[in-house]
Structure 1
Amino acid sequence: MASKANEFNKYIEQDGRLNFKGAPDEIFIEAFKKIKLFSRPLSDHTVRAYNEDLDSFMGFILDKDILLSEVNVITIQEYQVYLAKNFANRTIARKLSILKRLISFGYFANFYSFSMVEYIDTPKKAKFLTSETAEKGKNERRRLDLEDALIIIDALEKVVITKKIYRDVLITRNKLIGFILLTAGLRASEIVKLKWSDILIRKDRRNDTVSFSLDFNGKGNKPRKVPLYEKAVEALYAYRNSLCTTYSLYSEDFRGDDRPIFVSTSRTNYKEDMPHMSYNALYKLIKQAVTIAEANERVSPHWFRHTFVTQLLEQDVPLAIVKDLAGHSDIATTNLYIESMNDNVVNREYSKVDFGI
């Protein structure tokens, strides 16, 4: 294990960024599995499925005598044709999901010189399940399955139809908005007000790690701090790189940069004093993605917030922590989500109880 760790260390820059440019395929795959795919505990079934889907793509390029580092847009398109001829849509969607994560990580880690993710088209239609109480009024707790939420986030890329020079900015911006909605649970009104100085970066020199969080004033001007999930950090990197700004993501001057993260697109020179993106613009963006994804037309940005809170509760995050992360003023609000959790979760938790008889 030590020798493998040393091999990975060769591909870590002094500022903590990954740089696998020119790395052997087997080293990159091991890094992808360790850093990205299996970075958190997973069930044996999930691990097996992930490995099978990854092996599917690796076997495909092996048959074509193509190295992983040589994969390009044509390779990806050929793989999608192969999948379409041999598998059902649901299986294709799962396999392409792993491929997206591999390609995205490759770009993030400088294994690939540009992102090819936008060329991966997931052939699936979302279920977009809602509460059975959908017609019972505004107090319904609406949420998305994770798979459905990711379909909409993927569709955020397709909202961008312009071919102008700032196309990449809009694509990466939209992706970042989607991941913040899903993995940080911010209200739409909070997202559009975010400033670069709201991003808190902490370096742990003992473990040589860097963590990111959002440190901002939420609803009612109450201070709130929410960790940034790894996928959101990757999207943040891509967005910053697309802006072609001169300051580093790790700059100590970060806290002094009070420019908005998400800006109005009425002007394209980011270095001007540009206004925040409006709430209406973000709302319209999500609704456009919902239409492209052929989703339930009622889905709005706030559904992602409900999904975020429900996911935390279903994965056993303590109620008090969920309350703080969501910015609820009263824990009774958080409790309402528990009441709306489905019977499967209740049965799963009940099955863990031992009455000793």
Structure 2
Amino acid sequence: MDQLVNEYVRYMLVERGLANNSITSYKQDIVEFVAFLKQLGISDWQRVDQQVILQYMAQLKAAGKAKSSITRFISAMREFYLFLMQFHYVDTNPMLKIDLPKPDHHLPAVLTEQEINQLLMQPDPTTKIGLRDRTILEVMYATGLRVSELIGLKLSDLHLDMQLIQTIGKGDKERIIPIGTVAIEWIQRYLQLSRPRLLGNHRSNHLFLNARGGGMSRQSIWQKIKHYVAQTDIQKNVTPHTLRHSFATHILENGADLRIIQELLGHSDIATTQFYTHISHRHLSAVYDKYHPRK
């Protein structure tokens, strides 16, 4: 079973050219499922049926796994079984009758402009780490970059004289994003005062560096944001994606067209962008309730 999983990983990388993050996530989900199968004494993919998969999904639910995690597992297994069927490793596909859980419909946390300013003020820009962190927060809010896109930024991706940066998003799609003068000033300050000290004797093309002169991880960005939020009186669940949501919501509320926001965020489908209209409607309702004399 392990051998087929490894073959599938190579197939995703070489034949399908999937992004590393997608491959890592799919592999982890399948490896954890294999561990479950071994506990049941199952060592052949031919013996895996619909009931076994449902049993595992019930275990995930009982362990408190989010619906998004279960959905990702199903997606991973669907793709894996297409591979197994294509190369005749199995005769039947038990994933055909496995339905995705209905998603929870909830709006993500969005920071107000005042809360954004409060968060931005937390890093100490007189230190090399604080200056780096302030620049990271400024860039995330100024561009709406995903955290994976942020840590992937290279020096060659900066076109500050044209107020543009380029990035590789989901599906390895490249896009060009405008960036404001405030964020540019912080980048230039970071490049001059902080990055050379972080780099030391090392070599790296990454824009943002850790204390050892290497590229930063998604986990480190997450931890940094949690650390700075804890220093404020913000009571919302703030993650790196919150800055992306706040970026999109604020420019929508200030009159940006939804198609423009789609391009800035790198959404392949406008339907993904449209949920920001719900957030904007919530904002409009709050303004109405506050200011209309006969609300």
| TM-score normalised per structure 1 | 0.47
Matched, 1:221 2:172: yes
Is residue 141–residue 337 contact of structure 1 (8 Å, CA) maintained in 2?
A: no
CA distance in 2, matches of 1:189, 1:212: 21
Which residue, out of 180, 187, 206, partners 1:260? 206
Correspondence list, 1:135-284, <5 A: 137=104, 139-157=106-124, 168-201=127-160, 210-243=161-194, 245=196, 259-265=205-211, 267=212, 274-284=213-223
**Matches of 1:320 and 1:345, distance apart in 2:** 20
Task: Deviation per CA, 1:295-340: give whole Å up to 9, x if none.
Answer: 2251111111111111121111121111000111110111111022
1:30-72 Cα deviation digits (max 9, x unpaired): xxxxxxxxxxxxxxxxxxxxxxxxxxxxxxxxxxxxxxxxxxx
- Percent identical pairs in the alignment equals 27
Judge conservation of contact 2:139–2:183 (CA < 8 Å) in 1.
yes
Long gaps (5+) in structure 2: 1-102, 198-202, 289-295
- After the TM superposition, which residues 1-357 of structure 1 pair with which residues of structure 2 at under 5 Å, given as runs? 137=104, 139-157=106-124, 168-201=127-160, 210-243=161-194, 245=196, 259-265=205-211, 267=212, 274-296=213-235, 298-345=237-284
CA contact (8 A) 1:144 1:303 kept: yes
Judged with a 3 Å threshold, the aligned counterparts in structure 2 of structure 1 residues 244 and 276 are, in CA distance, closer, same or farther, namely closer
Work out which of the two has the higher radius of gyration on C-alpha atoms and give 1 or 2.
2
Alignment TM-score, normalising by the size of structure 2 = 0.56
The RMSD of aligned alpha carbons is 2.7
Distance in 2 separating the partners of 1:299 and 1:244: 26
Q: Is the 8 A contact 1:263 1:277 kept in 2?
A: yes
* Structure with more helix by fraction: 2
The secondary structure found in structure 2 opposite 1:287 is: helix
Asked if 1 retains the 8 angstrom alpha-carbon contact of 2:204 and 2:215, the reply is no
* Shift, 1:182, TM fit: 1.0
Counterpart in the other structure of 1:251: none
1:302 and 1:157 map into 2 onto residues whose CA distance is: 22
Does the C-alpha gap of structure 1 residues 342 and 200 become closer, same or farther in structure 2, counting only changes over 3 Å? same
Is the Cα contact below 8 Å between 2:128 and 2:195 reproduced in 1? no
The one-letter code of the counterpart of 2:159 is L
Given that residues 168 and 242 in structure 1 are in contact (C-alpha distance below 8 angstroms), is that contact kept between their aligned partners in structure 2? no
Q: Distance in 1 between matches of 2:234 and 2:287?
A: 28
Number of residue equivalences: 181
Where structure 1 has 5 or more consecutive residues not aligned to the other structure, the ranges are 1-135, 159-166, 202-209, 247-256, 268-273, 350-357
